[in-house]
A and B are shown apart, each in its own frame.
Chain A
Amino acid sequence: MEYILNIGVQVAIFIILASSYNLVIGYGGLASVAHPIFYAFGAYGASLLSIHFGVPAVLAVVAGGLIAALASVALALSSLRVSGDYLLIASLGFQLGFLQVIRNFDFTGGAGGLSTIPSTITGAYRTPAFLALTVSCAIATVWLISRIVQGPYGRAITAMRDEELAFTALGRNAMSIKVVVFAIGCGIAGIAGGLYAFYYQYVSPDQYEVLQSAAILTMVVLGGMGTTWGPVVGAILLIAVPQAITFLNLPPSVMAPVQGIIFTSLVLLFLFLRPSGLVGGSGSKPKVGSESATGATGAKT
């Protein structure tokens, strides 16, 4: 039972991560790969505040989200000014750079990570309580994002992605919309990091590698980029299916490759059969953000 609940917490955390990443890349068209580093800012921020300054858990999680959001604004302002495509490279560098910093500072626990995060909820109800908490946060995330992407703001995001130059020439501030969307998405990832830290009471740099970027991206693509429920479905599938396979009681030497094969073939299958993901409408292509150059490439015959 404990085991199942534990998977539930993991799924909820990844729903938060995948949904917020979907806001950034699927809706916002912002090609950042660095989502896990904002997850790390939240996890480390909350952990360090709680370990060194005795900040209460709830405040520490919120602060972790704010730290992640602020860091994302710095990244967005510095790279989006150059061009939309530059964000891809800049975010990769940002992620690898900060991972090195985390690995090499004693303050952040170095490569071994932080393992002295205070326990917040104790006793028999610890796991169910965390499950309730993380699921509530996941629901709040999905609700908030769907609220943002519907109505006038969502219309602005879509128009910006369709034809950024025309959008800006109508008086809309594309830069501010991008920064805000990015900050919200990355701030939510930071909150997921804080939840993770207090649940596992352990954070280490390995969880925020580029491999994690690929995992979250896969959840979004598999479920349906630019849809409300796609990332939810993607997160459930990608966390739960590999766990379910462990019930088959295969020997470990077989297990790892089998999981890898299933994972890879699922992704390939979906990319070919349902390019818009499980939840996305069939036929339509996924709305990956296409950046029209910020320069004056506008009116050409």
Chain B
Amino acid sequence: MSGPAPILKVDKLCKAFGGIVVADNVDVTIDRGEILGLIGPNGAGKTSLFNLVSGVLKPDSGAIYLDGALVTGDPLYRRARSGVARTWQNMMLFKTMSVMENLLIAPRDYPGEKIGRLLLMTGRVRAAEQAAKARALGILDRLELGRAADANVTDLPFGHQKLIGLARALMNDGSLLLLDEPMAGVEGAAYETMQRVVREEAASGRAVCVVEHNVSFIKDLCTRAVFMAQGRILETGSVDDLLKSKVLTDLYFGV
């Protein structure tokens, strides 16, 4: 495959917690507009890979490039500003806050977090707030949750909370979107909505990576997927090929 540089390039990434190896020479690339599936059994290191890419974890060795720029050593908060948007397996919503507030905190640029600007450049802060609010309402509408804007997040049903986790990530307009088990516990209308929005995001040019145990979801969305176990990438290929692979069926569905 040739063409433009990938949005994400992970190069020989290694990470271990004591004896537990969560990343063992991991190489991954994701292109603009691509939805990459990441599958593997519990404890394979899928979430850890997200944590490495989003800056939560520091790798022991290896490199991470975002839009061609080396970001391996950047602190967590700067990784998001460089364009990594992500959701969490356990959502990690701000539980004392409303849906709208959860979203307003999430743009890449948030001038209101600088006390000097807050007190002296009120105009700039207010303009950013207005823009963020409009963006948040747009995203909530796409997720059919516009009416829930003022509700406290914890008052929403689980499936909707998952969508809010996605909505919050979408406030970051960066080039990479990481979704950690977006469908776990989600059914019915929220399921359809999730699929539609993930597709739209990829179509708009983002690189998306989805961790999911729900294989049919991966099959619907992804042309390419990666199979991981014990921190190692065992197979890469089309979803159909992966599902036919013996390594996967043994490890994933075996016994």
A158 CA to B106 CA, complexed, in Å: 13
Which one of A148, A151, A171, A298 lies within 8 Å of B77 (CB-CB)? A171
Q: Does B95 contact A (CB under 8 A)?
A: yes
Most buried by B among A152, A158, A173, A180: A152
Cα distance A298–B50 when bound, in Å?
11
The smallest C-beta distance from A59 to any residue of chain B, in angstroms, reads: 22
Contact of A167 among B50, B94, B112 (CB under 8 A): B94
By a CB distance below 8 angstroms, the chain A residues around B102 are: 159
Interface residues of B in 86-141 (CB under 8 A from A): 86, 88-90, 92-97, 101-102, 104-113, 115, 118-119, 125, 128-129
Interface string of B170-183 (1 = CB under 8 A from A): 01100000001000
Query: Does any Cβ of A come within 8 Å of B206's Cβ?
Result: no
Contact A155 B172 (CB under 8 A): no
Given contacts A298-B56, A299-B50, A301-B89, whether A171 and B110 have CB atoms under 8 Å apart is yes
- List the B side residues contacting A92 at CB < 8 Å: none
Q: Does B9 touch A at the CB level, under 8 Å?
A: no
Q: CB-nearest residue of chain A relative to B171?
A: A170
CB distance from B221 to the nearest CB of A (A): 20
The complex places the Cα of A152 from the Cα of B77 at a distance, in Å, of: 17
Q: Is the CB of B56 within 8 A of A167?
A: no
Q: Which residues on A sit within 8 Å (CB–CB) of B51?
A: 296, 298-299
A167 contacts across to B, CB distance below 8 A: 94, 105
A106 contacts B by Cβ under 8 Å: no
Count of chain A residues with a beta carbon within 8 Å of a chain B beta carbon: 31
Cα of A298 to Cα of B42 in the assembled complex, Å? 16
Could you tell me the distance between the alpha carbons of A257 and B95 in the complex, rounded to whole angstroms?
Answer: 44
CB of B47 within 8 Å of the partner chain: yes
| Contact indicator per residue, chain A 152-191, by CB within 8 Å of chain B (1) or not (0) | 1101101100110111111111101100100010000000
**Residue pair A172, B90 in contact (C-beta under 8 Å):** no
In-complex Cβ contact of A155 among B47, B104, B115, B119 (8 A) = B104
Decide: B97 and A153 in contact? CB cutoff 8 A. no
Q: How far is the CA of A163 from the CA of B87 in the complex (A)?
A: 13
Q: Are A169 and B81 in contact (CB under 8 A)?
A: no
Tell me the bound Cα distance from A177 to B112 in angstroms. Answer: 11
Give B128-166 interface residues, CB cut-off 8 Å to A.
128-129
Q: Are B88 and A170 in contact (CB under 8 A)?
A: no
B192 vs chain A, min Cβ distance (A): 25
Instruction: List residues of chain A with CB within 8 A of the CB of B56.
Output: 165, 169, 296, 298
Q: Does A35 contact B (CB under 8 A)?
A: no
Residue of A nearest to B111 (CB): A152
Q: How far is the CB of B189 from chain A (nearest CB, A)?
A: 25
Bound complex: CA A155 to CA B132 (Å): 13
Residues of A within 8 A of B109 (CB): 171
Cβ contact within 8 Å between B81 and A171: yes
Q: Which residue of chain A is the closest to B95 with respect to CB atoms?
A: A162
Collect the chain B residues with CB atoms within 8 Å of residue A163's CB.
Answer: 92-95
CA distance A78 to B165 in the complex (A): 33
CB distance from A170 to the nearest CB of B (A): 5
Q: Report yes or no: B96 in contact with A169, Cβ–Cβ below 8 A.
A: no
- A165 and B77 alpha carbons, distance in the complex (Å): 9
Instruction: Pick the contact of B115: A168, A169, A184 (CB < 8 A).
Output: A184
Q: Is the CB of A152 within 8 A of B118?
A: yes
Q: Is the CB of A166 within 8 A of B88?
A: yes
- A158 lies within 8 A of B57 (CB): no
Most buried by A among B94, B108, B109, B172: B94
Q: Which residues of A contact B129 (CB under 8 A)?
A: 151-152
Q: Which residue of A lies closest to B125 (CB)?
A: A152
In the assembled complex, the Cα of A287 lies from the Cα of B96 at a distance in Å of 10
Structural contact, A151 and B118, CB atoms closer than 8 A? yes
B172 near A171 with CB under 8 A, answer yes
B202 within 8 A of A: no
Chain A residue nearest in CB terms to B109: A171
Contact of B97 among A151, A155, A298 (CB under 8 A): A155
Q: Kindly provide the distance from the CB of A31 to the nearest chain B CB, expressed in whole angstroms.
A: 18
Q: List 20 A-B contacts (CB under 8 A).
A: A151-B112, A152-B113, A153-B112, A156-B110, A156-B112, A158-B97, A159-B97, A162-B96, A163-B92, A168-B76, A168-B77, A169-B56, A170-B172, A172-B105, A180-B115, A184-B115, A296-B56, A298-B47, A298-B51, A298-B56
Pairs of residues from A and B, 4 with the lowest C-beta to C-beta distance, nearest first: A152-B112, A171-B80, A166-B92, A162-B94
